[in-house]
Structures are given as structure tokens and as C-alpha cells.
Amino acid sequence: MQASVGDKLLVHGRTVGHHDRTAKVLQVLGENGNPPYRVKFEDDGHEALVSPGPDSVVRHRPEAGTG
């Protein structure tokens, strides 16, 4: 998994009653875009240091000038 600052991290809820959460990548602490990431969750504004597991997906921000 690789991310850049500004990408979105989608963390799927793993159990009944836990919803999917989306967070914005604020800082990449690993080498070459690898975890851990400092993120800010969109639903409550909480910031956290995460090392995403297989229940997470990176949604890369659109490239400038495309779309």
C-alpha cells in the first residue's frame, strides 16, 4: 500500500454496526509512500497514526490537470 499527502484512506468497517470511515492522509511517515500515515478522519475530525491493514484502500487524489 502506498499513499501520498492528500490521498484518502477508506477503512472498511469489519464488524456489524461499524461503518466505513474515510480519512485524509496528512503525513506519510514510511519510505516511498508506505505506512504509517498520519490521517484526519472526516466523520469526527480525529487525527491518528495508522498502519492500515487489508480492510483499507487508498484512493489517490486526482492528478492536477486531469478530469
| Residue 65 confidence (pLDDT) above 70 | no
Task: Give the per-residue pLDDT at 62.
Answer: 81
Of 42, 36, 32, nearest in space to 8 by CA: 42
C-alpha separations of 56 from 1, 42, 51, 65 in Å: 9, 15, 10, 27
Tell me the pTM.
Answer: 0.84
Q: Where are the domains of the chain?
A: 5-57
Supply the DSSP string of 18-42, one letter for each residue.
PPPEEEEEEEE-SGGGPSPEEEEET
What's the pLDDT score for residue 9? 96
pLDDT at residue number 18: 74
| pLDDT tens profile 4-57 | 999 999 998 777 777 899 999 999 999 999 999 999 999 999 999 999 988 899
Give the per-residue pLDDT at 13. 77
